[in-house]
Amino acid sequence: MRTDEAISAQEAAAIMGVHFTQPARMASAGLIETVDILVGISISGDRLSKVYSRLQAEENYQEYMLSLKRRVRRRPREYLDQRSEVFEYLAAEGRPKIALHDAIGTAEAGKILSVSTSWVSSLALENQIIGRVSWSGRAVNRTWIISKASCIENRLSIERKKLSGETLFGRPRKLS
């Protein structure tokens, strides 16, 4: 059995062949599972984003294709041209697969790691935690999907190093 991978709204839309606004509507209708991730903290409030179930997005597309074969009258999906591009992006060498219920945003990762949210992406790029930038067919996307388990593992390793008296580089973390 495959694990259910966390994907962004743009990725889910490309897999299903729908407009990029449709995954949110489909999620509110209960057609696809989502998890809210915390991507920003500000004075005006927390900024949440959603990650979607890749398995359910693929199942939705397969149901659509079956309905076309059965000649069930449905509106044709007009955004199928990006399917191959998103599959290539997700299957790229070295691109981590993050489970749906393990996915968190940069703000929550920053809280776990006791670092600034801007440093989370640097830690992911240095392979100290597991994370990836989501695909976007429209613009440069800077939404990171981070593995919560890898953040907890990183925090525990930093705590062990502190307790053993090992010298840590960079700004000191306030682990509480």
Instruction: For 22-60, write each residue's pLDDT tens digit.
Output: 999 999 999 999 999 988 877 777 888 899 999 999 999
Average pLDDT on 114-118 reads 89
pLDDT > 70 fraction of the chain, expressed in percent and rounded: 92
47: in domain: yes
pLDDT at res. 57: 96
What are residue 52's DSSP bridge partners? 7, 34
Q: What's the number of domains the chain is made of?
A: 1
Containing structural domain, residue 38:
6-164
10: its two tokens: 């743009």
56: in domain: yes
CA dihedral 16, 20, 25, 27 (to 10 degrees): 50
Q: How far apart are CA 96 and CA 112, in angstroms?
A: 20
Closest CA relative to residue 35, chosen from 57, 22, 19, 53:
53
The pLDDT tens digits for 85-113 are 999 999 998 899 999 999 999 999 999 99
pLDDT at res. 54: 96
